[in-house]
Amino acid sequence: MATFLPSRPSRPLLGALRPRRAVDVVPDVAPRPAAPAPRSAVVAAAIYDDGIRRAGYDNLAETFSALRSRPGGMAWIGLERPDESELTSLAREFDLHPLAIEDAIQAHQRPKIERYGDTLFVVLRAARYLDDAEEVEFGELHVFVGPDFVVTVRHGASPDLAAVRSRLESDREMLSRGPEAVLYAILDSVVDGYAPVVAGLDHDIDEIESDVWGGAPDVSRRIYELSREVIDFQRAVRPEQGLCASLAKGADKYGVDPELQAYLRDVADHLTEAADRIEVFRAALRDILTVAATLVAQRQNEEMKHLSEVSIRQGEEVKKISGWAAILFAPTLVGTVYGMNFDVMPELDWAYGYPAALVAMLAVSVGLFGVFRWKRWI
CATH, residue 44 = 3.30.460.20
**pLDDT given at position 325:** 79
The sign one gets for the Cα dihedral 188, 193, 196, 197 is negative
Cα separation, 147 vs 120, in Å, equals 9
Assess if residue 283 is contained within a domain: no
The predicted-structure confidence for 197-212, as pLDDT tens digits, reads as follows 999 999 999 988 888 8
- Give the pLDDT band of residue 346 (cuts 50, 70, 90): low
Assess if residue 165 is contained within a domain: no
Q: How many CB atoms lie within 10 A of CB 140?
A: 20
pTM of the predicted model, to two decimals?
0.70
**Where in the chain does DSSP place strands (E)?**
42-49, 52-57, 74-80, 112-116, 119-130, 135-145, 149-155
Residue where one domain finishes, among candidates 113, 128, 160: 160
**pLDDT given at position 271:** 92
**Total residues belonging to the chain:** 378
Asked if residue 38 has pLDDT above 60, the reply is no
CB-based contact 272:235 (threshold 8 Å): no
Alpha-carbon torsion, ordered 221, 225, 226, 231, to 10 deg? 140
Paired residues of 142 in beta bridges: 123, 153
Residue where one domain finishes, among candidates 117, 132, 160: 160
Assess if residue 243 is contained within a domain: no
Assess if residue 93 is contained within a domain: yes
Q: How many CB atoms lie within 10 A of CB 361?
A: 16
Assess if residue 7 is contained within a domain: no
Cα separation, 154 vs 41, in Å, equals 10
- Once rounded to an integer, what is the mean pLDDT over residues 363-369? 81
In this structure, what DSSP letter does residue 23 have?
P
- Once rounded to an integer, what is the mean pLDDT over residues 84-88? 88
The distance between the two most distant Cα atoms of the chain, rounded to a whole number of Å, is 152
Assess if residue 256 is contained within a domain: no
Cα separation, 96 vs 94, in Å, equals 6
Selected residue with higher pLDDT from 71 and 321:
71
The predicted-structure confidence for 135-181, as pLDDT tens digits, reads as follows 888 989 999 999 999 999 988 777 788 889 999 999 899 998 889 99
Selected residue with higher pLDDT from 237 and 251:
237
Assess if residue 291 is contained within a domain: no
**pLDDT given at position 125:** 92
Asked if residue 47 has pLDDT above 80, the reply is yes
The sign one gets for the Cα dihedral 181, 187, 191, 193 is positive
Cα separation, 182 vs 248, in Å, equals 16
Residue range of the domain that includes 357:
314-374
Q: How many CB atoms lie within 10 A of CB 164?
A: 20
Strands 135-145 and 119-130: antiparallel
Paired residues of 137 in beta bridges: 128
Report percent pLDDT > 70 for the chain.
85
Paired residues of 138 in beta bridges: 127
Asked if residue 78 has pLDDT above 80, the reply is yes
The predicted-structure confidence for 130-142, as pLDDT tens digits, reads as follows 888 888 889 899 9
Asked if residue 293 has pLDDT above 60, the reply is yes
Structural domain tally of the chain?
A: 2
Strands 74-80 and 149-155: parallel
Cα separation, 50 vs 54, in Å, equals 10
- Give the pLDDT band of residue 17 (cuts 50, 70, 90): very low
Residue where one domain finishes, among candidates 133, 160, 187: 160
CATH assignment at residue 368: 1.20.58
Amino acid letter at 249? K
Q: What is the DSSP string of 112-130?
A: EEEEETTEEEEEEEEEEEE
Assess if residue 156 is contained within a domain: yes
In this structure, what DSSP letter does residue 209 have?
H
- Once rounded to an integer, what is the mean pLDDT over residues 243-257? 81
Selected residue with higher pLDDT from 221 and 317:
221
Give the chain's mean pLDDT.
Answer: 81
